[in-house]
Amino acid sequence: MAFELPPLPYDYAALEPTIDEATMKLHHDKHHQTYVTNLNGAVEKYPDLGKKTPEELLADLASIPEDVRAVVRNNGGGHVNHTMFWQIMKPKGGGDPIGDIGTQIDTDFGSFADFKKKFNETTAKQFGSGWGFLVFKGGKLEIVTKPNQDSPISDGLFPILGNDVWEHAYYLKYNNRRPDYLAAWWDVVNWDEVNKRFAQAKK
């Protein structure tokens, strides 16, 4: 298989009470696995695509044969988005952002509190399934939302962090209360990993 499901870097219950064990099991083992399986299915017919990284596929969707382009966009996006998502969370995470990303957040948004408010409000409004992302564009941090599994990588932007607002990410615990999930999520953010991604975004 060209692409593989990465193991979760902590136990399914490790993000309790912010994200419940049942949600993590379904989200990682079923939803993310399905994106990987479907991406592998799409590239079976075009073995050269399987030699690229999923990020390379998303960065140049126009070069993907038309009959599999939408499948690669949706499932390659799903694979890359979720791989990031597991890594930018950790048990006993959260707190104020540290390092360069903390400084940049203060510069571009005024304070962490202002940034969180703007990120949560913007992402809460994403209609239907999608993601809220933090990207670095023209020397400034910017909050963007994307529908479905679309990735900022397809716009030439590297996602520094992102939160999944598909209902599968929160419905078991938070039901229809997406804003409550968004507000709670910051308690599990892994700022060390976010700093690594910020360094990559600046390159």
- What is the binding site for Mn ion (CB under 5 A)? 164, 166, 169
Residue 31 beta carbon to Mn ion: minimum distance, rounded to whole angstroms: 5
Residue whose structure tokens are 């996006």 = 77
Of 82, 89, 49, whose CA–CA distance to 190 is shortest?
Answer: 89
Q: Which residue lies nearer to Mn ion by CB, 54 or 97?
A: 54
Residue 169 beta carbon to Mn ion: minimum distance, rounded to whole angstroms: 5
Q: Which residue lies nearer to Mn ion by CB, 58 or 141?
A: 58
Q: Which residue lies nearer to Mn ion by CB, 8 or 141?
A: 8
Residue 85 beta carbon to Mn ion: minimum distance, rounded to whole angstroms: 7
Of 107, 159, 106, whose CA–CA distance to 130 is shortest?
Answer: 159
R_g of the chain, CA atoms, integer Å:
17
Structure tokens at 1: 């298989």
Q: Which residue lies nearer to Mn ion by CB, 166 or 174?
A: 166
Residue 27 beta carbon to Mn ion: minimum distance, rounded to whole angstroms: 6
Residue whose structure tokens are 């030699």 = 51
Measured in degrees and rounded to the nearest 5, phi and psi for residue 189 equal: -70, 135
